[in-house]
A and B are shown apart, each in its own frame.
Chain A
Amino acid sequence: MASNVNAKNVERGESTWQLAWRRFRKHRMAQFSMIVIVILVAASLVAPLLVSLGWIPDPNEQPSGANLKAYYFLPPGSEGHLLGTDELGRDVFSRILFGGRISLLVGFSVAIVSVIIGTVIGALAGFFSGRPFDFYAGPFSKRLREMVAEGSLAAFGLALGLGLLALGLLGSLAVAGQTGAFWIASVLVALGVLALNLFGVFGAHLSRMTWTVLSWGILGGTAWLIWDITRTLALPSIGAGGVNGALSTVGLVAGGAAALALLAWGLIGQLKLDLDIVISRLIDFMLSIPTLPLLLVLSAFLNDSRSPLGRFAQGVFGESASVFIIISILIIFGWITSARLVRGQILSLREQEFSMAAYALGASEPRIMFRHLVPNTLAPIIVDATLAVGTAILVEAALSFLGFGIQPPVPTWGNMLTGAQDFIFYAPHLAIYPGLMILITVLAFNYMGDGLRDALDPRSQL
């Protein structure tokens, strides 16, 4: 993300980021929190490895043999069980590590995806505020009419591309449950995007953007494949969810959102609406819905194996379907904060001299927006993303605690607490540790966000 501002600082010998890092280091708690987060992430990542090395028990393994009773509710510090065992004799320490995988997975995916979505929406809304939305004139309006009029090759490309896209999506829905089918679908989708580009359906600018997206997609896909192989061959006890779930979740949610965005884009462009007003109304609407109750309703509906999304998720993710569903739900509500934040920033930035100068120099609107304005909102975005991780973890825990979140047997800190509540008289340790882990993790992210704010906010003093 090289920005012009950066370039200037490099000449001075210290970039904005170096300066920020220097400030960040003054914030002791934030630094300490960063170390805590690194440890948490590392511990979650190596947890399956520890299981396969035999250092910790499998989180879902129940004791077997005679006198099973002797293995239940063991207190912390019992032999072979650092934090004791739960009501099914499973190792609490191991479950906390694996629960952490899910909690962090939820936190990171929700924060990253919702911040990306929020930034894009907020930037567009802010930038085009006060006039009809005509970004790229809208793929469904001008360009489409031209192509039909010309009867050009692009029309054929459009048909082919859309056809392949549809085939890919339908295919993955129809044969959901087979990872293979999922792969085939991904390839078809990629081919569809490729076709759309080859025939220049979206025009030059967008082609370049799509190419970028595509190449990143291929890179990501390869990484996923490598991971998938490692996972199946080397780490058989990865447990529920896992990084596989993370990647596919992010991919699927982003894909779905992109499809919706494309549709909205076309419609708003066609109807010549002010995007800012549309987005503000949408945000008003979302904010008027009581969040927690709605989350309950939504997750009950989506977790139901009879709903289309529920069926799809269960087909693809099996028992960890609820992880995917909770992530999606949290994203639906997560983008609002960053969208509002970015919109406000862009509104004021676009009136500033440097963007006026860019206009004067004849820079295109997308260039001004993504090269000049958005990088300048990066500081608050990063802070927002950090805090969003903590919030997502808390909300997931609350939902799981109420029984509407991630379903057993996938361990999460939230649903470990639900179970523990029934046994606080036998084994208070079952309730104490998962809660402490949530507290520590969220605290670490909040402190880090605070440190980042101090470091990145030019107004804050050293």
Chain B
Amino acid sequence: MKKIQLLTLGLVAVLGLALAGPRDNSLVIGASQEPRVLGDAWAFVSSAAIASEIESFLWAGLEYIDIDGNDQPYLVTEVPTTENGRVKVTDLGEGKKRIDINYTLRNDIFWSDGTPITSADVKFYYEVGKQPGAPVQDPTYWNRIKLSVKDGKNFTVTFEPAYFYDLVGSAIGIAPAHVMKGEWEKTKAEIAKLDPEKDAAKITELFQGFVSKFSTPSALSKGSMVYSGPFVLKRWVPGSSLEMVRNPKFFITPPGGADKYVQKVTYRFIGDTNALLVAILGGGIDATSSVALTFDQARAPQLVRRAKGRFDIWAVPGVIWEHAEVNKFSNVQEVKDLMLDNPKTRQAILYAMNRQGLVDAFFDGLQPVADTWVHFADPNANPNVAKYPYDPEKAKQLLAELGWKDLDGDGYLERKTDDGRTVKFEIEYVTTAGNRIRERTQVFFQNDLKKVGIKVKINNAPSSVVFSNDFFSKAYDGSWKGLFEFAWLFGIVDDAGVFTCKDYITGETFVPTPENNYSGVNFNWCNEEFDKLRAKAMIEFDAAKRKEYWQRMQEIWAEELPALPYYWRSNPLVVKKGLVNFVSSTYFGSFGYPTTNAWLIGWTENGAQQVFDQAKYGISALEQ
């Protein structure tokens, strides 16, 4: 959710002087958000999208997700798989498995100060994260992981219990031990003096204080950190810009030699997206970050008019899934009256919604309609699931089958309930007030639903209200009674946790009721087959088999429609003509960061060779 907010918040303006660009083989990127810290490998402080994007320039991981969503080796010799014998799966019974992953670090890798990158750096990362009291944001990961180092280049990562996503991307992080160790020993000594129960807050501050010595703007500008990525940070002026220059110690040489590619990269941070747009128009920016303009701003007439021959504007389908959640708690009177717990009702509603018409009308078709919660770019996507194209007749027919009829001739449907009352099909529709696109969507669907006899009652509130625990999680108590439109972010390692009723591995339930203290976000859709398939898929390390389970799950999902899928949001990307390999795809670097293969970014004028074609991964907003 945080990431969703980040992505929708801002835009970047770079008001730079026109010294950017091919002339001095440099690149100016505009962003509307600024990271607070960079290189916080354990996410003790923050894990903002903009930070991850910039970190791609500066640090290399063991593996990365390539433009097509596949794993690629980065600091290691090869991606561990069962085929190459680097992954060993052990069945522990009771639906639990353990995996051992053997990594070998490359021989030609160095930190930017010339120190070789070794297993000691991985071990250091592990030691800090494992320290009791560390304020890690994902405690389960740290509970499951174990590391054993064989020698300077070989080590084994063990997960117990293991899940499929442990094999997606790097299994463990890395941090320069020779730089950070001294400070860490001091911090550790301080922590040892404290009581982990009583002084938890103080310990958190110690951890954050330790990280800040190597990650804040002033620390990084002073050169307190070393880098493993294609660039090194030169200067970071908070509130303004961040400069990076090519890292001579970086081990990958792009085609034709590194000097043919961008030598200097500057991020300009301008929080106000209008100001950012002005800067783009002024020519001071060569490309936008993945956290920059809003979708509408990227299509502003001023920009489109001036873009011809100067800029390309792309819409890259992202991982943000706009949808409507449906309250399916039949103990809520309205839900029972409208039979929202019946898949047929939900199907009828979806048939009545002209989703293609909506994305055409509002987004020129640049944001694709979603069929299930799995993105079509996901290798596991099932293209053959039940789809619900706009079909008001079909919707009417389904509703009639459920006993709905316009009894009083007011154009809206009614039905007699079992206890003899007459109820009207009037459904509540909640979303975040002030979000213009959602408010438009709401009215658009209100019209569509009216055509089949469903009355929509709009009930919006500011996001702080609708996402508060008292509202969002209390659907069981009828805090919201019908549809609730918002967005989820589903990365490539999504485990369908949002739609799981019962986790057969841990035994937990994710349906928010008083019994489990309202935890979980599944608003009462319990499908045993789905849950069991998920439990199998979670511990299936054979990609082909998992795909099979995953595809069946999508079929069930599409048949049952626990939620109404609307569309996938697209990220706008503005790139100057002549800049190559600054491309984005749905899963590039996990979340579509155009900087994942930063060493390849360059200007054709200076001899850079094009490796990736954005047209393959996005839609040009200029040709619409």
Binding site for B on A (CB under 8 A): 62, 64-65, 67-69, 72, 87-88, 300, 303-306, 403, 407-409, 418-419, 421-426
How distant is the Cα of A425 from the Cα of B277 in the complex, in angstroms? 9
- Nearest Cβ in chain A — how far from B477, in angstroms? 14
A419 (CB) vs chain B CBs: closest residue: B436
- Nearest Cβ in chain A — how far from B163, in angstroms? 36
Assuming A88-B436, A304-B464, A306-B470, is B297 touching A64 (CB within 8 A)?
Answer: no
Please indicate the chain B residues that have their CB under 8 angstroms from the CB of A419 in the complex.
434, 436
B465 at the interface (CB under 8 A from A): yes
Binding site for A on B (CB under 8 A): 273-274, 277, 294, 296-297, 300-303, 361-362, 433-434, 436, 439-440, 443-444, 446-447, 460-462, 464-465, 468, 470-471
Q: Is the CB of B436 within 8 A of A64?
A: no
Please indicate the chain B residues that have their CB under 8 angstroms from the CB of A65 in the complex.
447
Q: Is the CB of A304 within 8 A of B460?
A: no
Q: Is the CB of B447 within 8 A of A305?
A: no
Of B300, B301, B439, the contact of A88 (CB 8 Å cutoff): B439
- 23 A-B residue pairs with CB within 8 Å: A62-B439, A65-B447, A67-B361, A69-B362, A87-B440, A304-B464, A304-B465, A305-B461, A305-B465, A305-B468, A305-B470, A306-B468, A403-B434, A407-B434, A407-B461, A421-B274, A422-B273, A422-B294, A422-B436, A423-B296, A425-B297, A425-B301, A425-B303
B358 (CB) vs chain A CBs: closest residue: A68
Q: Is the CB of B443 within 8 A of A305?
A: no
Name 5 extra pairs, CB < 8 A, besides A62-B440, A65-B447: A69-B362, A305-B465, A421-B274, A424-B274, A425-B300
Please indicate the chain A residues that have their CB under 8 angstroms from the CB of B462 in the complex.
303, 407-408
B459 (CB) vs chain A CBs: closest residue: A319
Q: Is the CB of B433 within 8 A of A407?
A: yes
How distant is the Cα of A62 from the Cα of B439 in the complex, in angstroms? 10
How distant is the Cα of A64 from the Cα of B443 in the complex, in angstroms? 8
Please indicate the chain B residues that have their CB under 8 angstroms from the CB of A426 in the complex.
296, 300-301
B471 (CB) vs chain A CBs: closest residue: A305
Please indicate the chain B residues that have their CB under 8 angstroms from the CB of A69 in the complex.
361-362
B360 (CB) vs chain A CBs: closest residue: A69
A86 (CB) vs chain B CBs: closest residue: B436
Q: Is the CB of A88 within 8 A of B464?
A: no
Closest 4 CB pairs of A and B: A425-B300, A62-B443, A64-B447, A408-B433
How distant is the Cα of A424 from the Cα of B296 in the complex, in angstroms? 11
Q: Is the CB of A88 within 8 A of B302?
A: no
Please indicate the chain A residues that have their CB under 8 angstroms from the CB of B460 in the complex.
408-409
- Nearest Cβ in chain A — how far from B354, in angstroms? 10
Among A62, A65, A403, A424, the one with the most B-chain Cβ atoms within 10 Å of its Cβ is: A62
- Nearest Cβ in chain B — how far from A411, in angstroms? 12
Please indicate the chain A residues that have their CB under 8 angstroms from the CB of B433 in the complex.
407-409
Please indicate the chain B residues that have their CB under 8 angstroms from the CB of A305 in the complex.
461, 465, 468, 470-471
Q: Is the CB of B436 within 8 A of A87?
A: yes
Q: Is the CB of B444 within 8 A of A68?
A: yes
Please indicate the chain A residues that have their CB under 8 angstroms from the CB of B465 in the complex.
304-305
- Nearest Cβ in chain B — how far from A434, in angstroms? 16
How distant is the Cα of A72 from the Cα of B462 in the complex, in angstroms? 23
Q: Is the CB of B434 within 8 A of A408?
A: yes
How distant is the Cα of A65 from the Cα of B465 in the complex, in angstroms? 31
- Nearest Cβ in chain B — how far from A55, in angstroms? 23
How distant is the Cα of A422 from the Cα of B296 in the complex, in angstroms? 9
How distant is the Cα of A426 from the Cα of B274 in the complex, in angstroms? 11
A425 (CB) vs chain B CBs: closest residue: B300
How distant is the Cα of A303 from the Cα of B362 in the complex, in angstroms? 32
How distant is the Cα of A224 from the Cα of B245 in the complex, in angstroms? 71
A322 (CB) vs chain B CBs: closest residue: B462
- Nearest Cβ in chain A — how far from B444, in angstroms? 6
Please indicate the chain A residues that have their CB under 8 angstroms from the CB of B274 in the complex.
421-422, 424-425
How distant is the Cα of A424 from the Cα of B470 in the complex, in angstroms? 36
Please indicate the chain B residues that have their CB under 8 angstroms from the CB of A425 in the complex.
274, 277, 297, 300-303
- Nearest Cβ in chain B — how far from A458, in angstroms? 50
Please indicate the chain A residues that have their CB under 8 angstroms from the CB of B439 in the complex.
62, 88
Please indicate the chain A residues that have their CB under 8 angstroms from the CB of B296 in the complex.
422-423, 426
How distant is the Cα of A419 from the Cα of B443 in the complex, in angstroms? 18
- Nearest Cβ in chain A — how far from B115, in angstroms? 47
- Nearest Cβ in chain B — how far from A139, in angstroms? 40
Please indicate the chain B residues that have their CB under 8 angstroms from the CB of A300 in the complex.
464
Q: Is the CB of B447 within 8 A of A88?
A: no
Please indicate the chain A residues that have their CB under 8 angstroms from the CB of B300 in the complex.
425-426
Q: Is the CB of B468 within 8 A of A88?
A: no
Please indicate the chain A residues that have their CB under 8 angstroms from the CB of B301 in the complex.
425-426
Q: Is the CB of A88 within 8 A of B277?
A: no
How distant is the Cα of A138 from the Cα of B438 in the complex, in angstroms? 57
A64 (CB) vs chain B CBs: closest residue: B447
How distant is the Cα of A161 from the Cα of B533 in the complex, in angstroms? 68
B364 (CB) vs chain A CBs: closest residue: A69
How distant is the Cα of A185 from the Cα of B274 in the complex, in angstroms? 50
Assuming A305-B471, A422-B294, is B443 touching A88 (CB within 8 A)?
Answer: yes
How distant is the Cα of A249 from the Cα of B93 in the complex, in angstroms? 66
Please indicate the chain B residues that have their CB under 8 angstroms from the CB of A408 in the complex.
433-434, 460, 462
Please indicate the chain A residues that have their CB under 8 angstroms from the CB of B361 in the complex.
67-69
Please indicate the chain A residues that have their CB under 8 angstroms from the CB of B303 in the complex.
425
A63 (CB) vs chain B CBs: closest residue: B443
Please indicate the chain A residues that have their CB under 8 angstroms from the CB of B362 in the complex.
68-69
How distant is the Cα of A426 from the Cα of B433 in the complex, in angstroms? 21
How distant is the Cα of A421 from the Cα of B275 in the complex, in angstroms? 11
How distant is the Cα of A88 from the Cα of B362 in the complex, in angstroms? 11
B274 (CB) vs chain A CBs: closest residue: A424
- Nearest Cβ in chain A — how far from B285, in angstroms? 16
- Nearest Cβ in chain A — how far from B270, in angstroms? 14
A306 (CB) vs chain B CBs: closest residue: B470
Among A300, A403, A424, A425, the one with the most B-chain Cβ atoms within 10 Å of its Cβ is: A425
How distant is the Cα of A428 from the Cα of B468 in the complex, in angstroms? 34
How distant is the Cα of A303 from the Cα of B470 in the complex, in angstroms? 14
Please indicate the chain B residues that have their CB under 8 angstroms from the CB of A72 in the complex.
440
A426 (CB) vs chain B CBs: closest residue: B300
- Nearest Cβ in chain A — how far from B243, in angstroms? 29
How distant is the Cα of A407 from the Cα of B434 in the complex, in angstroms? 8
How distant is the Cα of A68 from the Cα of B470 in the complex, in angstroms? 35
B439 (CB) vs chain A CBs: closest residue: A88
Please indicate the chain A residues that have their CB under 8 angstroms from the CB of B446 in the complex.
64
How distant is the Cα of A158 from the Cα of B470 in the complex, in angstroms? 40
Please indicate the chain B residues that have their CB under 8 angstroms from the CB of A407 in the complex.
433-434, 461-462
- Nearest Cβ in chain A — how far from B155, in angstroms? 48
B273 (CB) vs chain A CBs: closest residue: A422
How distant is the Cα of A68 from the Cα of B442 in the complex, in angstroms? 13
Please indicate the chain B residues that have their CB under 8 angstroms from the CB of A422 in the complex.
273-274, 294, 296-297, 436
Please indicate the chain A residues that have their CB under 8 angstroms from the CB of B461 in the complex.
305, 407
How distant is the Cα of A419 from the Cα of B436 in the complex, in angstroms? 8
Please indicate the chain B residues that have their CB under 8 angstroms from the CB of A306 in the complex.
468, 470
Please indicate the chain A residues that have their CB under 8 angstroms from the CB of B434 in the complex.
403, 407-408, 418-419
- Nearest Cβ in chain B — how far from A314, in angstroms? 9
How distant is the Cα of A87 from the Cα of B443 in the complex, in angstroms? 13
A304 (CB) vs chain B CBs: closest residue: B464
Please indicate the chain A residues that have their CB under 8 angstroms from the CB of B470 in the complex.
305-306
- Nearest Cβ in chain A — how far from B298, in angstroms? 11
- Nearest Cβ in chain A — how far from B244, in angstroms? 31
- Nearest Cβ in chain B — how far from A319, in angstroms? 8
How distant is the Cα of A419 from the Cα of B303 in the complex, in angstroms? 20
B302 (CB) vs chain A CBs: closest residue: A425
Please indicate the chain B residues that have their CB under 8 angstroms from the CB of A423 in the complex.
296
How distant is the Cα of A300 from the Cα of B462 in the complex, in angstroms? 11
